[in-house]
Amino acid sequence: MTDDEGRRRHYGHFYGVDPLPDGPIGIVHGNCQAESLRVLLSALPDSPFTVRIPPVHELEAEDLPHLDALLARTTMLVSQPIRDGYRGHPVGTDEVAPRLAPGARVVRFPVIRHRGLHPYQRLVRGAGIVDPPVVPYQDTRAIARAAGMPQPVLDADAVRAIAEESFAEQLRRTEAAGSVRVDDLQRAAGTRVTNTINHPGNPVLIGLAQRIADELGLPGTVEDPGRELLRSIYAPVLPSTLAALGLEGEPRVDWTVGGEPLADEQVLTEQAAWLRTRPRILAACLTACRDDLATGGSLLSMPMRDGAALGDGSLGAPLETLHLVVGPERHGVTRHATRLAEAGGQEIVRVEDAPQTLAASTGPASMPELAERLRGRVVVVHFTDRAFGPDPASSADAFERLVAPAAGVQVVLHDLPQPSDGAGMERRAAAYRRVCDAADRIVVSSEHERRLAIALGVEPNGVGVVPLPIEKPAEEPEGGAAPAEAPTQDLLPPGRWVSTLGFAYPGKGMEEVVDTVGALGLPEIGVVNLGGAAPGHEDLLEQLAERAAAVGTRFHATGWLEDDELLAASRAVDVPVAFHRHVSASGSVNSWIAAGRRPVVATSDYMVEQHLRMPGALTLVEDEAGLGEAIRAGLDDPALTRLADPDVLWPTWAEAATLLGTLR
């Protein structure tokens, strides 16, 4: 028997496998709670509720004729409040009611949820959100771990507050739907109120079934069926929760799934790891659960009241946030930090030269003036050692002194130390460790960077990730660049170009690109870098030009380009490339994509991560041979170098700013 055949036999009356019974017919329409109620109602004397129907979330278009045939015979409908057009089908409560037999009775019962026994658990719903692994419930402790935040700790007051809010929310849902009341049944059920937050225990279901039967005028008393109805999963009930609620009973420190025990710690570990690889879902969970995270003491910007213990739910006033942006105006990290703060609509304080500010004793750019502005605020700082001082140790000194007056510090790390740094890695690692020690929240731009931070000695659950923002490209009109863009003839010499982008510096893979283009044997193809040299590496551009001439091609660097010029040039070149093998996060790659291009990139942990997050946005190659093949393919078929589906891109600047805010 196939699964489909088994399903049709299970719902035999619905699919016409079995004839419908004579006399009145009652159906219970809804999700998992609906069938449990039908089981209870079906045991009443001469019950009309003998017809089992699929849960509403399983109904497909091919099921609708069967549903209509059944509705035409149905004289009693018991239904949850299902919205019109649910999952694209006319199966909402108000849509099925008019299709019932003449004179049919309708009784509504509410969606039943309660978090009192399970205050750390949540159901997070929304477009693109799927259930986490192991058990289909989110846990604020796993969410906090995945986000690099302190794990929430709920004391007795917080647990009681969550329970009372659950009762109140249940009553609000009941009144809004005009349905049978259930919150008083929940209060009376004690430790049997729920098995999970959306699986009520038998006492609640039995009491509700009796009220439905009474409203329909059905004779008899609803009895306990002798088995727990919603028993597939039992969630933990902690001893501290029972004590807070004043309930007596046996606690459950772990889960039971399908009759088998499952350690709570295993669930938290696996779900946190799963969330880290799905930043969009993590962002939605952080937004949905922000109040719980605040109550549990996880948020830097929502401190406890003076003298209150972490997690006691006694919140003080939110701390105002200020973005301290340090470094030269044209530095990539400086530009990134500024734009992200602007996207969040938050205050910015600029420090162009950190050593100079620290040395000044008076004036608007002096340390005393800066300290006054930072005092009592949560300060967000983007740190790269190259922007804070002449060497790693000096940069760490500057960071520590600059943020010392702040009430809280969220640091966003860039250019993290890694083995490709060579002899300088340990000096940089020591500086970054000091920066992490001086911060309250640590954020990076990728899971790859998170692993680099952990390698520095940072607590594995103490690092959050906010992916580099990327806007969907503006529509590119037919025939070339938009009129608002700079004319490319002023930016690029004549010819066809394989292009890199951003500041040029050793180790960025530009030498390999020049060699590969030369090996193609196509003299009309040159290499251009959209940008100039990084400070201190001005001689690299001349070296690249000489190298290009030696291998039979040409090299050109445009120098600094304003935003409109960069967009126009990015769209005009023939093949975009980013062949940096040791990148930990790449703004230049995002610049290509934001221009509607699909760059050829060297495979690395970071690029694989980006490829999985934004399928089709990159062309990954393993080595220089693969680079040559991809360049030749792009020259032959320009469509391969264009972004096909902008909808895969995430996050926007506004979304990234929001996500960064949820992590503090």
- What digits encode the pLDDT tens for the residues 169-190? 999 999 998 999 999 999 999 9
Residue 13 pLDDT:
95
- pLDDT of amino acid 451: 93
Task: Tell me which H or E stretch contains 602.
Answer: strand 600-602
Cα 28 from Cα 49, distance rounded (Å): 8
The domain at 321-465 falls in which architecture?
3-Layer(aba) Sandwich (3.40)
Q: Is the dihedral of CA 141, 144, 150, 156 positive or negative?
A: negative
| Three-point CA angle 276, 279, 284, nearest 5° | 115
What's the pLDDT at 44? 97
Dihedral angle, C-alpha 476, 479, 484, 487, nearest 10 °: 120
Fold of 3-108: Rossmann fold (3.40.50)
| Distance (Å, whole) CA 114 – CA 170 | 8
Q: What is the average per-residue pLDDT within 402-415?
A: 94
pLDDT tens per residue across span 88-135 = 999 999 999 999 999 999 999 999 999 999 999 999 998 889 999 999
Query: Could you tell me if 159 and 241 are in contact, meaning their C-beta atoms sit under 8 angstroms apart?
Result: yes
CB atoms within 10 A of CB 65: 10
Reading the block at residue 305, the tokens are 């009241």
When pLDDT is cut at 50, 70 and 90, the band that residue 544 belongs to is very high
The encoded tokens of residue 347 equal 């205050």
Q: What is the pLDDT of residues 240-275, one digit of tens each?
A: 999 999 999 999 999 999 999 999 999 999 999 999
Average pLDDT over residues 327-334: 91
Comparing CA positions, the residue from 545, 548, 558, 556 lying closest to residue 516 is: 548
CATH 3.40.50.2000 placement within the chain: 321-465, 488-648
* Residue-level pLDDT at 312: 44
Given the candidates 3.40.190.80, 3.40.50.2000, 3.90.1010.10, 3.40.50.300, the CATH classification of the domain at 488-648 is 3.40.50.2000
344: left (phi > 0), else alpha (psi -120 to 50), else beta? alpha
Q: Give the 3-state secondary structure of 474-515.
A: CCCCCCCCCCCCCCHHHCCCCCEEEEEECCECCCCCHHHHHH
Output the average pLDDT for the chain: 92
- Quick one: pLDDT band at residue 475, thresholds 50, 70, 90? low
**185 three-class SS:** helix
Q: Is residue 422's pLDDT more than 90?
A: no
Specify the pLDDT at position 68.
96
292-317 tens-digit pLDDT: 999 998 887 655 434 433 344 445 56
Look up residue 373 and give its two tokens: 């502005």
CATH 3.40.50.12080 in the chain is located at 3-108
Sequence letter at residue 455: A
Strand intervals (E) in 266-327: 321-326
pTM of the model: 0.82
Q: How are beta strands 255-257 and 260-262 bridged, if at all?
A: antiparallel
Largest CA distance in the chain: 97
Q: Cα–Cα–Cα angle for 277, 196, 260, nearest 5°? A: 80
CA distance 51 to 78: 12
Question: For residue 306, what pLDDT is reported?
Answer: 43
Instruction: Tell me: pLDDT of 30 over 80.
Output: yes
Spatial contact of 405 and 371, defined as CB atoms under 8 Å apart:
yes
Evaluated on CA atoms 282, 286, 288, 293, the torsion sign reads: positive
Closest CA to 441 of 154, 659, 139: 659
CA dist 81 and 178 (Å) reads: 9
Alpha-carbon distance of 576 to 601, in angstroms, equals 9
Question: Is 512:624 a contact under the CB 8 Å cutoff?
Answer: yes
